[in-house]
């Protein structure tokens, strides 16, 4: 057997092995290539004709099975494409579903017999029809991508031009940071862009910030030099005139707060140096203030303990000159105010106590045995007609705005009477009315039935509290 025959035999055996191993597509491809080498002018050697026929039959058989197996699936895919066009899906979702069906079709081509021209044409036309709603959307999207691209190019131009005319003396770190933050936010908004321009735009964006970075470094160096100058000013201050020094430090601290940062790494360090230098003086002043605060607390305590009258407390506080106009002065003024209020409350309580003793004696001992010292000074003369103490009490309770406690029949009668008088007397002097009620109480008669007396006494003490502000 010649070399050519041996080679041909090896190729045929190789194709046969591909069929056996399941590499059908590869086997069919190699067989078609081998068949193309023979024709009318070059017939297949007779000893290999049978093997050629057997392998070609096998290839056709696989084709027939593949067509049979995929035919229904391809018909199903065509139906699916025609169906999704009727779903009214939004363009992006519609495009995804069409792409998914096309991938399934390609998969059938890769693992089976290629579809007939007629079936492929049907599927292709169905896909094109289904794609029509996506066409305008993606065309608009491409237009939007171009628009975003141009906007990003404009931003890059703004970043490149930002340093123009700016110096460390006329621009701040905050202004630079705000500008960068603004352009970064816009950069994210202007998306998407054409895929082909994505990398180039990002590169230009990074490069465009070089000028700003140089400017930012210059501003931070300028801030550093200014901060160092302020530190030297603090170092040269005198400890002898501490009040003037502290005032100057406050001014320098205000200036310091207006200065921008000197860089992320350096700023904490230089800030600490400034604070430490200031604190050398402020601690001395704080020590003085602490001593004055201690004296002030002693003054306030003496005031609260009633060992010091307000006028003397005021004079002693004036001696503490370094507390004038401070929060400590506000604290002292509050203590003076609280003392005055306490005195007023004590006087009010003492006054109320006297009236309470009057009421208690009235109901415990009876009107006839009231001590003259308890009778209020404003009670002048006896009433023309003496009331029952219960009646006088009911009228007083109603004057105080309470639902009166007392004998039920008497309460109902007086309520009706007072209601009638209320409409008749529109302009009643409250002080005069109070005087009238106390006169009736002081010169009242003991009740025949004393069963209600404890409850009435309790109600009267409550009424007394209600008219406390009217008591002279």
Residues 113-156: tens digit of each pLDDT: 566 777 788 878 777 777 777 777 766 677 788 888 888 899 99
Lowest-confidence segment of 55-69, 174-188, 226-240, 457-471 by average pLDDT = 55-69
Q: Rounded to two decimals, what is the model's pTM?
A: 0.40
| Residue 445, strand partner residues | 388
DSSP codes, 173-209? HHHHHHHHHHHHHHHHHS----HHHHHHHHHHHHHHT
Closest by Cα among 386, 392, 366, 378 to 463 = 392
CB 99 within 8 A of CB 141: no
- Which pLDDT value is given to residue 161? 93
Q: What token pair was written down for 51?
A: 């093997």
User: Residue 429: left (phi > 0), alpha (psi -120 to 50), or beta?
Assistant: beta
DSSP 45: P
Between CA 92 and CA 168 the distance in angstroms is 50
326: number of Cβ within 10 Å: 15
The full set of domain ranges for the chain reads 1-115, 351-470
- Which pLDDT value is given to residue 389? 86
pLDDT category at 335 given cuts 50, 70, 90 is confident
- Which pLDDT value is given to residue 68? 47
Closest by Cα among 74, 81, 66, 65 to 119 = 74
327: number of Cβ within 10 Å: 8
């Amino acid at each position: 057997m010649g070399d050519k025959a041996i080679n041909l035999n090896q190729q045929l055996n190789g194709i046969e092995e591909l069929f056996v191993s399941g590499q059908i597509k590869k086997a069919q491809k190699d067989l078609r290539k081998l068949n193309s080498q023979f024709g009318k002018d070059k017939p297949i050697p007779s000893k290999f004709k049978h093997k050629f026929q057997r392998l070609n039959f096998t290839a056709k058989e696989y084709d027939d099975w593949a067509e049979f197996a995929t035919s229904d699936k391809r018909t199903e895919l065509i139906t699916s494409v025609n169906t999704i066009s009727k779903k009214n899906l939004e363009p992006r979702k519609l495009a995804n579903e069409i792409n998914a069906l096309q991938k399934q079709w390609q998969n059938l081509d890769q693992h089976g017999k290629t579809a007939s021209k007629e079936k492929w044409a049907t599927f292709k036309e169905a896909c094109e029809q289904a794609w029509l709603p996506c066409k305008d959307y993606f065309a608009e999207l491409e237009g939007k991508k171009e628009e975003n691209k141009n906007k990003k190019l404009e931003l890059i131009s703004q970043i490149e031009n930002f340093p123009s005319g700016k110096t460390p003396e006329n621009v701040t770190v905050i202004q630079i940071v705000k500008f960068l933050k603004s352009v970064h936010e816009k950069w994210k908004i202007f998306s998407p862009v054409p895929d082909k321009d994505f990398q180039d735009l990002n590169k230009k964006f990074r490069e465009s910030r070089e000028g700003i970075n140089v400017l930012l470094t210059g501003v931070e160096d300028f801030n550093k030099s200014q901060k160092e100058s302020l530190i030297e000013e603090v170092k040269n201050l005198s400890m002898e005139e501490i009040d003037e020094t502290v005032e100057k430090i406050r001014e320098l601290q205000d200036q310091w707060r207006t200065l921008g940062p000197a860089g992320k790494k350096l700023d904490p360090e230089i800030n600490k140096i400034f604070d430490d230098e200031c604190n050398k003086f402020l601690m001395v002043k704080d020590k003085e203030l602490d001593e004055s605060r201690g004296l002030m607390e002693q003054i306030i305590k003496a005031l609260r303990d009633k060992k010091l009258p307000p006028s003397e407390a005021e004079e002693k506080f004036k001696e503490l000159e370094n507390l004038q106009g401070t929060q400590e002065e506000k604290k002292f003024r509050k203590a003076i105010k609280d003392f005055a209020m306490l005195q007023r409350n004590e006087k009010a309580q003492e006054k109320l106590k006297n009236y309470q003793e009057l009421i208690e004696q009235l109901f415990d001992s009876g009107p006839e045995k009231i001590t003259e010292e308890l009778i209020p000074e404003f009670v002048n003369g006896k009433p023309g007609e003496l009331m029952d103490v219960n009646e006088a009490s009911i009228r007083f309770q109603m004057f105080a705005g309470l639902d009166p406690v007392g004998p039920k029949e008497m309460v109902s009668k007086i309520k009706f009477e007072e209601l009638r008088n209320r409409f008749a007397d529109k302009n009643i002097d409250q002080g005069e009315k109070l005087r009238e009620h106390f006169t009736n109480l002081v010169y009242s008669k003991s009740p025949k039935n004393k069963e209600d007396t404890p409850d009435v006494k309790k109600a009267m003490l409550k009424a007394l509290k209600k008219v406390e502000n009217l008591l002279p």
